[in-house]
Structure 1
Amino acid sequence: MAVAAVIAASVGLGVVPGAPALAGTGTGGAPAPVVTRAALDPSLVAGRGANVAFSEQEAENATTNGTAIGPDRTAYTLAGEASGRKAVRLTPGQHVEFTLPKTANAITVRYSIPDAPNGGGITAPLNVTVNGGGKKVMTLTSQYAWLYNQYPFTNDPNADLLHPDWWITECACVPNATTPGPTITKPFRPTHFYDEQRLLLGRTYRAGDKVRLTVPAGSNAAWTVIDLLDSELVGAPHVRLLAANVLAFGADPLGRRDSADAIDRAIASAKRSHLKVYIPPGVYQVNRHIVVDDVTIEGAGSWYTTVKGKEVALGAPAPDGSVHTGVGFYGKDASAGGSRNVHLSGFAIEGDVRERIDTDQVNGIGGALSDSTVDGLYIHRTKVGMWFDGPMKNLKITNNVIVDQIADALNFHGGVTNSVVSNNFTRNTGDDGLAMWSEKIANAGNTFDHNTVQTPTLANGIAVYGGTDNTVSNNLVADPIREGSGIHVGSRFGAEAFAGHLWITDNTTARAGTYELNWNIGLGAIWFYALDKNIDADVQVVGNHFLDSTYNAIMLVSDWPVKDLYSITNVHFKDIRVDGTGTSVVSARVKGSASFENVDARNVGAVGVNNCGSFNFPPTGSEFSLTDLGGNDGGGTTGPWLAPWELPNTITCDDRPPVVAPPAPSPW
């Protein structure tokens, strides 16, 4: 989601260090396990984000004979895309060792290994031992990582510009090409470095046991970067005896034969018999969409039941523009009436998507699903985990893990109403983590609540593009990388206007407020963008915490060509905590107004309000006004963040103030 440049000048990226490792000592002087959430002390984000079954441990807090990388918030770097902006680099023979904080029988490893010289990825082993024994070997791959070049990217590190006629708007700091022309440094803009892999350990281990990840000598990977380890105790497989068991209809649990037709037969039988469909433990090969309507499909649990498929090229493009198909569970298209009463739970969807083709329907879940539920799925390596095209209503999406996507984790696209996305975990998306996009038809009455979104490599953690009466609440968003930030409210991409209200309440962002490489300025951890229309609905931003923002905590902005056309008004900030900004608390680059009440800030690196308005600089003051409703306390290096002399519309325009790295967030 690139955006047009406002300012052409270039500056270097100010890098703000991440939080230091949380120290502790176990028995015998050994380091105690350090459990984090989004690389933060869990007490800083209590009650926010998804309640997950696993314990997160960052590699930089573990014991290693490898090399720590980071902190670094620069795009196109391994540390920049790591959780907490730090990781550990291992060479063959080196290891990193984690101490289990709780009983566990399963782990997830987030890692990166090099691409092949000509793209396409490699595989390499990683040895896993516990207390020196029980060796298992994970086969890591970079076949689903490493994208390059301009949007929509390529797998070829040696490619010339995909669009030679495009102006390369990114600033000269990264990479060194800002003018049109075919000369670029290759590989050009490498990104999306990480993947993750899950492993059942085969037995249950106790708290205090040592999980060691070792790169064996002779590995064909010159280096292996370990970002983190998640450990958990997985329960026994779920069994449904009275059901249409897919095995009875010819499904192959060893994945040797395609099971799509068998699953279709099970669905048809279940509907006739008013039974549920059950997919027992196994790996089932499915290389197309399974169309679902008025059916319940249960797996044995996402660690036990996997539906896995190859991306398949179509002989001719489909009517919707798709040139591939692949594994996915799809409701009927809304134009055909959509699907209803669909309930999917307890299995994994493992895709095979290695390139971004926006017209392709190669998503884990898709179509239109009304009066339906999606619960407890693990979706890996599809294009978008869940993409819904409305009109549709009353969908509940809960307790899912969506990781390593080429594009979004989830998108409500046009006419999705009265639906809830709650307690889901996403990591390493190639576009917005969670999005509501009101293209052509407004989304209305939807809620994104108690979700965790980590390390989107492009765009935003959570984005709302137009719509009516929607809510974003109690979410945790961490480490957005480029061309977006933590939470985004955008009048753009042809979205319908914002109407009614938009409530953004009790969310936390961490290490957001990214550097916008096209505009060559810093964004806000939360940012409002009036590109296509005014933003003038009732927007309430209440109870949010913005931690360790690389640049600004709050931004309100338009684009230079439309700066005198559109405004942002009726936005109200209340009961906000800002703990650390590299620059300002508020950056205003648009005409309009906002009110502030009980917005407390500390460790602010520059003047509290960067008020440029719409850059006409009239003698009457900025075209953007701030209303002080009281209780706005604290500040930083330049004094109170909201000083009387800044109100209501003093011009305090400094496009690129020096970045002052704040200390790590701490209890308020």
Structure 2
Amino acid sequence: MFRVPRVIAVSAALVLAAGLAPPAAFAHATAGRAPVVTRAGLDPALVAGRGAAVDFAEQEAENAATNGTVIGPDRTAYTLPAEASGRTAVRLVPGQHVEFTLPAAANAITVRYSIPDAPGGGGITAPLDVTVNGKDRRTMTLTSQYAWLYNQYPFSNDPGADLLHPDWWITECACVPAATTPPPVITKPFRPSHFYDEQRLLLGKRYRAGDRVRLTVPARSAAAWTVIDLLDSELVGPPRVVSRAADVRAFGADPTGRRESASAFDRAIAFAKRNRLKVYVPPGTYQVNRHIIVDDVTIAGAGSWYTIIRGREVALDTPAPDGSVHTGVGFYGKDAADGGSRNVHLSGFAIEGDVRERIDTDQVNGIGGAMSDSTIDGLHIRHTKVGMWFDGPMRNLRITNNVIVDQIADAINFHTGVTDSVISGNFLRNTGDDALAMWSEKTANSGNTIVRNTVQSPVLANGIAVYGGRDNTIAGNLVADPVREGSAIQVGSRFGAEPFTGRLRIADNTTVRSGTYELNWNIGLGAIWFYALEKDISADTQVVGNHFLDNTYNAIMLVSEWSVKDLYSITNVHFKDIRVDGTGTSVVSARVRGSATFENVDARNVGAVGVNNCGSFGFPPTGSEFSLTDLGGNDGGGTTGPWLAPWLLPNTITCDDRPPVVPPPAPSTW
């Protein structure tokens, strides 16, 4: 059973105590435990056909053998279990271990972990010993330099910082501190978050299924505790060789990473374009501390485990015209205003940045600019601000089979006039904002498809967000464990986006443990969240074939903001062939005027009345301002009976502003 989020101001000691050792925590020393392979913390059978097809096997630490302490499950924001995959992890102190049994042959692992911040912020480093079958010891150096943010948006690395916005509403004190006499005491550090990071390790040899990978915190560790969330194991093939190409080493690139190689990349790209060759980046670590501009060029690495392009974040002497005050490693198409880039093909390498704070004007993204008629495939990106941020207009970009983790903000964002493009087969974990977003600011994004991606544990905001646009599709994705102030999928009229027009199709997605607590509203959100803040949402919206599993609050939410509740509506939304397995509250929560249709929406383990219908809070005698149309086949329910009982239709007022939460049982085969 998870704990329902509570709004409290907590000290650092309480965060660590409550987050690391909740009352449900327990030690379980076991040995020889059979491997349990999951996807997004679930039995893979429950999410079959959804999400990215990845090369690794996910194993949650709580399912492994350990003499440490299991923490969680807990969905309370600002705690370590809440940000863990499956909302549960294992806490180790020096001398303790967790041991995973390999489910298949592997020669590489990824460890997702958390260690404490330095007392004054900035992070620490600590060792983690890795052995296989009790031998072949290697030591990973863990770091918290890219974790631990505090305070209000856009956050701080300083745990002792005062409120960044004392003129904002603070839920913890139910006040605006700058307007309060005497000023409230806000306990520091305020709202700690973004606890986790991950590291990869090539093991140097191939191990067999059944071999045991043990992670041990050595006695010499400077970290008071180490939390292990999960281990991904995989069998990585040999490095790829591109024989007829411009090898960056021939132009002065240093594969040891000791010397800066940006100019060598520029020379290799220029030569390759003149001679109609690809650019090849062989195995090695290359230091690149600024943008590499790409246009009409193919750059191929030996594989993301072998070719690593790493850079420091560099402060600019004077701000750039776009407002950037830093630069760093990244591959950028030309600005759309300059015609953008075309025929760019990037594949088979890793980009590792050095971004430790959120400065929204900074262009310190892994990939950026405008790229039309281009492909990006098989990259591994971490520690940048946004993995890939595109400013259109641009068209026909294919983003496939990439891994993007540990971002300060988004993983991928289509911003302004991106058309006829695809985001497919990508794996995204631990983003600091929307993992996947289409933001139609100024110019509509249209004809795009986000399909078969996996999103795990976005710390803030949504798994997938669509802000305006025309004729876009969100299909076949798997989204798990959004942490706070967001949903698995959001359809939002906000951020100055162009209106929704044409058709929006949201089909065959699965969400897991979704629907977070909205701090400012003091309510729970839906796994899918329609939000009419700045305009009506009236485009033909088809929500078909989706599965909403283990919803923290409600599965479906349609809402406007109180200040505009009489201005905007949500209409023309059609839900069909939906499965809802478990809600903490309702299946549908309506807090807006408008209407929707429901057909073959089946639900079970529903914790409250099936439809929480507040409309726009006018409470007219004719009923709610939001109407539901039953097209048949809407079956099942929960503690209060059928979820779409006849008495709820078409617009019965059943408004409970903050209904009690009844944690549902774990999802199971339908």
In structure 2, the partner of 1:347 is 349
Output the CA distance in 2 between the equivalents of 1:549 and 1:414.
32
Matches within 5 A, 1:603-614: 603-614=605-616
The residue that corresponds to 2:331 in the other structure is 329
8 Å Cα contact 2:330-2:351 kept in structure 1: yes
Q: Percent identity?
A: 81
What is the SS of the residue equivalent to 2:81? coil
C-alpha distance in structure 2 between counterparts of 1:177 and 1:562, whole Å: 25
Task: Say which of 471, 488, 496 aligns to 1:469.
Answer: 471
Contact map agreement 1:171 1:520 (CA 8 A) in 2: no
Task: Give the secondary structure class of the aligned counterpart of 2:497.
Answer: coil
CA offsets per residue over residues 148-168 of structure 1, 9 Å max, x none? 001000100011111222222
Residues 1:274 and 2:266 aligned together:
no
Q: Establish whether residue 135 from structure 1 lines up as the match of residue 145 from structure 2.
A: no
Q: Could you report, residue by residue, the CA deviation over 1:497-544 in whole angstroms, capped at 9, with x for unpaired residues?
A: 000000000000000011111111111000100000000000000000
Change (3 A) 1:420 1:636: same
* 1:330-479 superposed matches below 5 A: 330-479=332-481
Q: Which residue of 102, 105, 109 maps to 2:111?
A: 109
Q: Separation in 2 of the partners of 1:375 and 1:384? A: 17
Measured at CA, do residues 171 and 647 of structure 1 come closer, stay the same or move farther in structure 2, by a change above 3 Å? farther
Cα drift, residue 391 of structure 1: 0.2
Residue of structure 2 in register with 1:557 after alignment:
559
- Contact 2:301–2:307 (CA under 8 A) maintained in structure 1: yes
Equivalent residue letter for 1:269:
F
Mapped to 1, the partners of 2:8 and 2:575 lie a distance apart of 31
- Cα contact 2:94–2:221 (8 A) shared by 1: yes
Maintained 8 Å contact 2:32/2:65: no
Corresponding residue SS for 1:128:
strand
**Distance in structure 1 (CA, Å) of the matches to 2:461 and 2:561:** 17
C-alpha distance 514-382 of structure 1, shift in aligned 2 (>3 A): same
Give ranges in structure 2 of 5+ residues lacking alignment: 1-5, 10-18, 25-29
Q: Is the 8 A contact 1:479 1:512 kept in 2?
A: yes
Contact persistence 1:164–1:182 (CA under 8 A): no
Q: Is 1:172–1:178's contact at 8 Å kept on the other side of the alignment?
A: no
Alignment correspondent of 2:586? 584
2:244 is matched with which residue? 242
Aligned CA distance change for structure 1 residues 145 and 452 (closer, same or farther; 3 Å): same
Cα distance in structure 2, aligned partners of 1:163 and 1:520: 19
Query: Contact 1:160 / 1:182 at 8 angstroms: preserved in 2?
Result: no
| 1:548 aligned residue | 550
| 8 Å contact from structure 1 (residues 114, 223) kept in 2 | yes
Equivalent-residue separation in structure 2 for 1:363 and 1:467 (angstroms): 24
Moved over 4 A (4+): 9-12, 175-182
Letter in 1 for 2:335: D
- Letter in structure 2 aligned against 1:139: T
SS for the counterpart of 2:599 is strand
Question: Which of these residues, 651, 654, 660, is aligned with residue 653 of structure 2?
Answer: 651
Tell whether 2:211 aligns with 1:220.
no
Q: Do the aligned partners of 1:177 and 1:184 also contact (CA within 8 Å) in 2?
A: no
Residue type matched to 1:533 in 2?
K
Indicate conservation of the 8 Å contact 1:161/1:182, yes or no. Answer: no
Distance 1:328 1:178 in 2: 40
**Would the aligned equivalents of 2:332 and 2:369 in 1 still touch at CA under 8 Å?**
yes
Residue by residue, what CA displacement relative to the aligned partner does 1:207-228 show, whole Å, maximum 9, x if unpaired? 0000000000021000000000
**Alignment equivalent of 2:574, drawn from 572, 575, 579:** 572
The TM-score with structure 1 as length reference comes to 0.95
- For residues 163 and 634 of structure 1, the distance between their equivalents in structure 2, rounded to whole angstroms, comes to 46
**Partner Cα separation in structure 2 for residue 331 and residue 182 of structure 1:** 48
What residue identity is the alignment partner of 1:319?
A: P
Asked if the contact 2:167–2:179 (Cα under 8 Å) also holds between the matched residues in 1, the reply is no
2:304 aligned partner: 302
**Residues 172/38 of structure 1: CA separation in 2 closer, same or farther (3 Å cut):** farther
Partner of 1:270, secondary structure, is helix
Residue 196 of structure 1, CA deviation:
0.1
Q: Shift in Å at residue 314 of structure 1?
A: 0.3
Give 1:354 deviation, angstroms. Answer: 0.1
Residues 167 and 177, structure 2, Cα contact 8 Å, conserved in 1: no
Task: Give 1:172 shift.
Answer: 5.5
Q: 1:415-469 deviations in whole A, cap 9, x for unaligned?
A: 0000000000000000000000000000000000000000000000000000000
Is the CA contact 2:452–2:478 (under 8 Å) kept in the aligned structure 1?
A: yes
1:287 equivalent to 2:289? Answer yes
SS, match of residue 82 in structure 2: coil
Could you tell which deviates more after superposition, 509-518 or 64-73? 509-518
Secondary structure in structure 2 of the residue aligned to 1:79:
helix
* Structure 1 contact 171–178 (Cα < 8 Å) conserved: no
Maintained 8 Å contact 1:171/1:177: no
Q: Which of residues 479, 494, 497 in structure 2 aligns to 1:495?
A: 497
Give the Cα separation in 2 of the matches to 1:497 and 1:544: 24
1:55-111 deviations in Å (ceiling 9; x for gaps): 000000000000000000000000010000000000000000000000000000000
Specify the alignment match of 1:233 in structure 2: 235
Measured in 2, the distance between the counterparts of 1:551 and 1:179 equals 32
Query: Which of 624, 644, 657 is matched with 2:626 structurally?
Result: 624
SS of 2:80 mapped into structure 1: coil
Deviations 1:641-661 (A, max 9, x none): 000000000000001111111
Quick one: structure 1 residues 318 and 102, their matched pair in 2 at CA, closer, same or farther if it must change by over 3 Å?
same
- Paired residue for 1:537? 539
Residues 472-505 of structure 1: per-residue CA shift (max 9 Å, x gap): 0000000001111100000000000000000000
Instruction: Tell me, in whole angstroms, the C-alpha distance in 1 between the residues paired with 2:176 and 2:211.
Output: 47
* Partner in structure 1 of residue 121 of structure 2: 119
Instruction: Label 1:178 to 1:317 Cα distance change in 2 as closer, same or farther (>3 A).
Output: closer
2:27 is matched with: none
Amino acid at match of 1:104: A
State the 1:31 CA deviation. 2.1
1:419 and 1:352 map into 2 onto residues whose CA distance is 29
- Matched to 1:641, the amino acid is W
Residue in 2 aligned with 1:633?
Answer: 635
Amino acid at match of 2:287: Q
Conserved 8 A contact 2:167-2:178:
no
On the 8 A contact 2:122/2:158 being kept in 1, the answer is yes
1:255-286 alpha-carbon deviations (Å, 9 max, x no partner) = 00000000000000000000000000000000
> What SS class does the counterpart of residue 620 from structure 1 fall into?
coil
Residue 182 of structure 1: how far off its partner (Å): 6.4
Aligned partner (choices 56, 65, 68) of residue 67 of structure 2: 65
CA deviation map 1:304-363 (0-9, x unaligned): 000000000000000000000000000000000000000000000000000000000000
- Deviation, 1:571, is 0.1
Matched, 1:161 2:163: yes
In structure 1, what is the Cα distance between the partners aligned to 2:178 and 2:531? 24
**What amino acid sits opposite 1:229 in the alignment?**
L
Q: Using the alignment, how far apart are the partners of 2:224 and 2:396 within structure 1?
A: 50
Partner of 1:184: 186
SS in 2 for 1:384: coil
What amino acid does structure 1 have at the position aligned with 2:123? G
Q: Distance in 1 between matches of 2:221 and 2:429?
A: 27
**C-alpha distance in 1, partners of 2:550/2:176?**
28
Give 3-state SS (helix, strand or coil) of 2:136's partner. strand
Using the alignment, how far apart are the partners of 1:271 and 1:609 within structure 2?
60
Q: 1:184, CA displacement in angstroms?
A: 1.1
Q: Is the 8 A contact 2:370 2:392 kept in 1?
A: yes
Query: Quick one: which of 11, 35, 38 aligns to 1:36?
Result: 38
Cα distance in 2 for residues equivalent to 1:407 and 1:489: 19
CA distance in 2, matches of 1:244, 1:579: 54
Unmatched segments (≥5 aa) in structure 1: 1-8, 21-25
Partner of 1:519: 521
